[in-house]
Amino acid sequence: MKSYKKELWFNYPKRRGYTNITRELKKCLTESEIKEGLMLCNAMHITASVFINDDESGLHSDFEKWLEKLAPEKPHSQYAHNGYEDNADAHMKRQIMGREVVVAITNAAFDLGPWVQVFYGEFDGKRDKRVLVKIIGE
């Protein structure tokens, strides 16, 4: 069994937003030289997400509006978590969008379907954060 690990760093300039990381993940796969196996890609922080969806700016603004409806940021005082913090909403948004994706690898390529793109989702940005990439296989 072979294994590969890499950490990708982000410092998103706004509180919330989405970064397409599919191309970087493909580079990781090439570097790993693994042809059959599984890739785990997860946010290493609890106010961020890694998820798979569409790279379409209209949808991303819909997500922003929708997550603000389901778990509004403000007023900060509505959440017990927000004493020293102001990011309780970010912890909730990350539960809806998810922490991780697992992607299959066959013949040295990801098994992705149509329009599938992998995103880093930031819900409490303007600071250094990491995504973990771990690949195991042969």
List contacts with a second copy (CB under 8 A).
Answer: 1, 3, 5, 36-38, 40, 42-46, 51-54, 56-59, 61-63, 66, 70-71, 79-83, 88, 91-92, 94-104, 106, 111-116, 130, 132, 134, 136-138
Beta strands in the chain (DSSP E): 2-10, 17-20, 37-43, 48-53, 100-106, 109-110, 117-122, 129-137
Closer to a second copy by CB, 15 or 53: give it: 53
Closer to a second copy by CB, 30 or 111: give it: 111
User: Smallest distance, Å, CB 13 to a second copy?
Assistant: 20
Pair type for strands 100-106 and 109-110: antiparallel
Which strand (E) or helix (H) includes residue 24? helix 22-32
